[in-house]
């Protein structure tokens, strides 16, 4: 009984979803929605990481700013003088062992200020560099999110175009079924030819049901990547575009060096590691600080007298059990690791640019070949149709031509998809996708 209720609810929701008017969506709009504050979860997490880096910077900065405290203390106490070694025994007088109770009141403001602490300044510089790293990582994540959305959109668009191609094939198959029936009625055709044409139509209708399901699934995947939820249906409005002019290798590499977010983030990490190393090295330097307090001290608030303390502290590190040296070695290793990563990602960026540029060039040739193949298959279909109408040949030749034009349409769709995909990957490798799709 419960299963029946659940099934009814699902069918009701599906009917409501189908009745809603689909929202038109371009690739740029999809990327903008993913990059919005309430869009991609990955980007929201990176924004929080950026805020965390700023909070940590403010914490480090606090070590260089004045530290001011205020306190009011009122105590009532007794003391054992013998515990402090105080005992007076003279004729006629014996010091008491227990004194008190005594009262004490102290209301005081205490302040301290770092005057010179080179290590603290370097730690602040490192914290500022961490903020820059967080910003660069957020930009890198934005580029990755834009890339993921573009891939998902392009995948859904491919299924949409494939669906349109199958519908065109169905129109063609329906036309050929009617032609075969006319030829049979005219006495120039036979029943097997009508059956053959209907089989081809049934095959295309079967492909249509599969393509419709795949298109809906691809749109749901796109909505998940965008982070927009599934309550509102969408309809893609972009098209698989034809090949566009591509940049040269030098232009692509220069763009990647200037704008590739993950490359820039890695350089900032190396800079941060260098500043952390300098901060640890600076712990060997002396530090200078000032302190002071002012307040009232007495037995009671009414009898308190103003008192103050002013002083300067110079600390000179001598020996700490080797902890400073251990931290210096640890940070030196971290710096060398980041230097290695920088060199590695530099080579990876160049590799990705070269591969993407080669893929764009290769898929351009595939699109040209697919266009030519589609033109030839259309010409073949027209010739086969004329020959069949004239009774020169059977429907086998016409069905073969029909199958070849369907395959040529699929080939062109695949070639355009691969070319558009290669261009997206090239823009990502160049660090330009985020700017292009905004």
Rounded to two decimals, what is the model's pTM?
Answer: 0.73
Element spanning 134, H or E:
helix 118-185
**Amino acid 10: pLDDT:** 43
Torsional sign, CA 29, 32, 36, 39: positive
Residue 107, domain member (yes or no):
no
Neighbours of 356 (CB within 10 A): 23
Domain count, the chain: 1
∠ CA 418-347-147 to the nearest 5 degrees?
Answer: 35
Residue 390, domain member (yes or no):
yes
**Amino acid 339: pLDDT:** 94
Cα–Cα distance list, 205 to 168, 178, 200, 302, 351 (Å): 11, 16, 9, 100, 44
Residue 158, domain member (yes or no):
yes
Domain that holds residue 406: 30-66+121-287+322-436
- Whats the size of the chain, residue-wise? 438
For residue 437, the 8-state DSSP code is T
Residue 78, domain member (yes or no):
no
Residue 201, domain member (yes or no):
yes
Taking the C-alpha atoms of residue 22 and residue 209, their distance in angstroms, rounded to an integer, is 20
Residue 106, domain member (yes or no):
no
The answer to whether 36 touches 226, Cβ cutoff 8 Å, is no
Across the strands, what pairs with 235? 24
CA-wise closest residue to 244 among 416, 370, 373: 416
The answer to whether 269 touches 284, Cβ cutoff 8 Å, is no
**Amino acid 3: pLDDT:** 53
One pLDDT digit (tens) per residue for the chain, 438 residues:
455 554 444 444 544 455 567 788 888 888 888 888 888 888 888 889 889 988 988 888 888 888 899 999 988 888 887 777 776 666 766 677 787 788 888 898 999 888 888 888 888 888 888 888 888 888 888 888 888 999 999 999 999 999 988 988 888 888 888 888 888 777 777 888 788 888 888 988 898 889 999 999 999 999 998 888 888 888 898 888 888 888 899 999 999 998 888 888 899 889 989 988 898 888 888 989 998 999 888 888 877 888 999 999 988 888 878 888 898 999 999 999 999 999 999 999 999 999 999 999 999 999 999 999 999 999 988 888 888 787 777 778 888 888 888 899 999 999 999 999 999 999 999 988 866 775
Residue 126 CA to chain centroid, in angstroms?
24
Crossing angle, helix 118-185 and helix 41-61, to 10 degrees?
170
CATH for 413: 1.20.1600.10
Residue 111, domain member (yes or no):
no
Residue 186, domain member (yes or no):
yes
């Amino acid at each position: 009984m419960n299963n029946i209720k659940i099934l009814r609810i699902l069918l009701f929701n599906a009917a409501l979803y189908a009745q809603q008017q689909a929202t038109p969506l371009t690739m740029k709009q999809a990327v903008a929605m993913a990059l919005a504050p309430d869009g991609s979860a990955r980007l929201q997490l990176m924004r929080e990481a950026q805020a965390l880096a700023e909070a940590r910077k403010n914490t480090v900065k606090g070590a260089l700013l004045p530290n001011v405290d205020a306190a009011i203390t009122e105590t009532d106490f007794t003391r054992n003088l013998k515990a402090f070694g105080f005992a007076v025994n003279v004729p006629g007088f014996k010091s008491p062992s227990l004194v008190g109770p005594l009262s004490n009141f102290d209301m005081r403001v205490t302040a301290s200020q770092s005057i010179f602490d080179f290590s603290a300044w370097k730690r602040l510089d490192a914290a500022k560099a961490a903020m820059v790293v967080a910003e660069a990582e957020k930009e890198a994540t934005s580029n990755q999110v834009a890339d993921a959305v573009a891939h998902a959109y392009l995948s859904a668009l491919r299924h949409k175009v494939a669906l349109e191609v199958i519908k065109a094939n169905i129109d063609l198959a329906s036309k050929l079924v009617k032609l075969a029936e006319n030829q049979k009625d005219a006495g120039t055709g036979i029943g097997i030819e009508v059956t053959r044409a209907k089989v081809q139509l049934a095959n295309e209708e079967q492909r249509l049901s599969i393509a419709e399901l795949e298109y809906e699934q691809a749109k749901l995947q796109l909505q998940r990547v965008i982070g927009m939820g599934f309550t509102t249906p969408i309809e893609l409005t972009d098209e698989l575009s034809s090949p566009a002019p591509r940049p040269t290798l030098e232009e692509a590499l220069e763009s990647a060096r200037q704008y590739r977010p993950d490359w820039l983030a890695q350089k900032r990490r190396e800079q941060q590691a260098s500043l952390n190393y300098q901060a640890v090295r600076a712990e060997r330097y002396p530090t200078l600080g000032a302190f002071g307090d002012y307040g009232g001290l007495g037995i009671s608030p009414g009898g308190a007298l103003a008192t103050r303390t002013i002083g300067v502290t110079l600390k000179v590190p001598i020996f700490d059990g080797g902890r400073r040296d251990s931290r210096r070695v640890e940070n030196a290793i971290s710096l060398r690791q980041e230097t290695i990563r920088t060199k590695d990602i530099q080579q990876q960026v160049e590799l990705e640019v070269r591969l993407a540029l080669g893929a764009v060039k290769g898929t351009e040739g595939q699109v040209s070949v697919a266009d030519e193949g589609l033109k030839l298959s259309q010409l073949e279909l027209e010739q086969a149709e004329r020959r069949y109408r004239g009774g020169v040949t059977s429907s086998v030749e016409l069905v073969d031509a029909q199958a070849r034009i369907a395959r040529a349409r699929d080939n062109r769709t695949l070639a355009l998809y691969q070319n558009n995909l290669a261009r997206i990957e090239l823009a990502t490798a160049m660090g330009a996708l985020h700017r292009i799709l905004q």
